[in-house]
Amino acid sequence: MENNKKIIFSGMQPSGTPTLGNYLGALKNWNIMQKDYRCLFSVVDLHALTVRREPKELRQASLSLMALYIALGLDPSENIIFYQSQVPQHTQLSWILNCYAYVGELNRMTQYKEKSAKHSENINSGLFTYPVLMASDILLYQTDCVPVGEDQRQHLEIARDIAIRFNNIYGETFKVPESYIGKAGARVMGLQDPEKKMSKSGDDAISILDDPKVIMNKVKRAVTDSDARVYYDPSNKPGISNMLNIYSAITGKSIEECSEEFAGAGYGDFKKAVGEVIINELEPVQKKYNELISNKDYLNSIAKEGAEKAQNLAFRTYNKVCKKIGLIQI
């Protein structure tokens, strides 16, 4: 890896197959940005523990996400691709940073509020301190830029606040990271309920690994409105606007261009075109994924190499932090 390039860190939870939202909000941008940055892409398995999971399923989802990263085109020889749990400095730094994060600021996190409402039987402290672990992921690597979807903006802010707070007390220790939130795909909404973001648990999500026929059916069933004209108006036409967003994020055309393209079209033709661009975009990824997923040895060798490289980098920042705060080093 060249040293003069800026550093990217980003991650995704292995909690079921990623959706089109994950793809357009994050993965597609990672793929584009890998050429210009030194990148670390992590399967953030420790974050997935905040919700109770079957061990077997977690293992499978982690392996599957690793395969998907590579199927997407993330190059393991150019980037560091690893499981978060294989680099112990993430949890070590997280404990330290917990002592610099305030209960008040964690309490304000929208995702915490949403998740505690959804999993009211299991509001564990991991769910609460989740953003601190995320801050540790980012700050350990002196990250310049974090490509994420809109829903992670608040978590990025807290990572920045913790870095600034720590630097103010102990002197320059952490790089203060910037977020990169793309335009069109930053918030992909559900197809049945376009007022809510598309999420893995929603039954109206398109999964990256969905069969082309399933994708087309889901798009055809997407909720629209009775206006019968295609144009962008998120408040009054959330369903159509969401699909214009998806079309724009995949094709790279602006929303205006997309609206013009479908100006005279009916909803049926528009949906067909949206379904087709999604299918064409995902087909090569699915093909590559199917080749990779059975090759566990290969996937494990990439993860091992990634963990070793990540540990080397993480150790430097972690050591620096220990020194600054007065922990004895032998």
Contacts to ligand TYM by CB under 6 A: 9-13, 21-22, 24-26, 44, 47, 134, 137-138, 146, 148-149, 151-152, 155, 185-188, 197-198
Task: For ligand TYM, give the closer residue by CB, 187 or 218.
Answer: 187
Task: For ligand TYM, give the closer residue by CB, 90 or 269.
Answer: 90
**Residue with smallest beta-carbon separation from ligand TYM:** 25
Query: Least CB distance from residue 219 to ligand TYM, whole Å?
Result: 15
Query: Least CB distance from residue 136 to ligand TYM, whole Å?
Result: 9
Task: For ligand TYM, give the closer residue by CB, 18 or 301.
Answer: 18
Task: For ligand TYM, give the closer residue by CB, 151 or 157.
Answer: 151
Query: Least CB distance from residue 253 to ligand TYM, whole Å?
Result: 18
* Torsion over CA: 135, 139, 145, 146 (sign): negative
- Residues involved in catalysis: 115, 197, 200
Query: Least CB distance from residue 258 to ligand TYM, whole Å?
Result: 17
